[in-house]
Amino acid sequence: MENKLLLKKNACTRTCILNILSLLSDSKDKRNDIIKRFVEEFKFISDLNESSKIFYTFLTFLRSSKIVKCKLGIFYFEKYLLVSDYEILFFDHDSFYKNQLVNNKVVLFDWIKPQHLEIELHPEYLNYVNSHIYDINTMFTPSEKLFQIIELSKIIYQFHGKDLCQGKFLPIFIYTLIYFQVKNLYHNLIYMQRYFTIPIQNCRSKCPHLENGSNEKCECTDNISSISFKEQKFYLLNLEAAICFIEKIDFSLLNVELEEYCRNLDSRVHRIDTSKQPKKISKEISFIDRAKFKAKSISYFVQDYIKKQFKK
């Protein structure tokens, strides 16, 4: 039987952990206070559009205040921000059930072949993906996850032609996600959208990364994309389109005989997840509702601080 497990990623190294801890160090600098307040209150912002705008504004502040120097600094900040219980992002009922639906579709349609999506794959393509791409569920930060999506897209173009049109690219992308049984696609998508970062300069020789950080480079930060902001959005849109297709996939969208379709689904229906919303999620929703008022103040707090400190 073919190995359909993507590469696993090693745990974060000591260098990265030390840089995260440097953000927690005591300081009289008010800029450290604003970081701590942001981290404490950002998790209460449940609206995806609102949270992405606020996160973008805050990263702009970090760059303008020179707290974060480069892409590696952004990576360390992401780690610091997400060390807390970021699963609060997924406590929304609709998100839970949509993610569950997409997961079940990935399981139910693991039998499809390239011909069912009317595509032709390079004979070495799947083996190459399996040996070069990590499962996004083993990655921690949005930057790392997005990097894997971008790398997978590059491999598709590498094996099937740089001039591959979107109509040919997307089915290959979809087939790859199903073939390797990548789970929690929807949760990963909203996670990346929520913490979508801003363009920032590459690290230079002896770059300080963070104002109080060390000058070392963590090996796990090789998974930081140098792709432009606009291109990153393009790759996220591809993932969103693929998830939309998987969510709606049925007989009408496949090139398959009805008998084969029914036989394969019947043999897999027992594997789908029919569990209800976990108690932990239901319990936390009331907590979020009570705390939502905090979300309204944080963006104003950041803007007011910038105005006072940098626009005198």
User: Is it the case that residue 146 has pLDDT exceeding 80?
Assistant: yes
Task: Quote the longest CA-to-CA distance of the chain.
Answer: 73
Say what percent of the chain tops pLDDT 90. 32
Mean pLDDT of 48-55: 77
Tens-place pLDDT, residues 232-258: 888 999 999 999 999 999 999 999 999
Q: Is the dihedral of CA 93, 99, 102, 108 positive or negative?
A: negative
Confidence of residue 120 (pLDDT cuts 50, 70, 90): very high
Torsion sign across C-alpha atoms 133, 136, 138, 139: positive
Contact 179, 126 (CB under 8 A): yes
Residue 213 phi, psi dihedral angles, 5° rounding: -90, 170
CA distance 180 to 195: 25
Give residue 16's pLDDT. Answer: 74
What's the pLDDT band for 149 if we cut at 50, 70, 90?
Answer: very high
Q: Can you say whether residue 255 is alpha, beta or left, with left for phi > 0 and alpha for psi between -120 and 50 degrees?
A: beta
- Mean pLDDT over residues 207-211, rounded? 78
Q: What is the pLDDT of residue 26?
A: 59
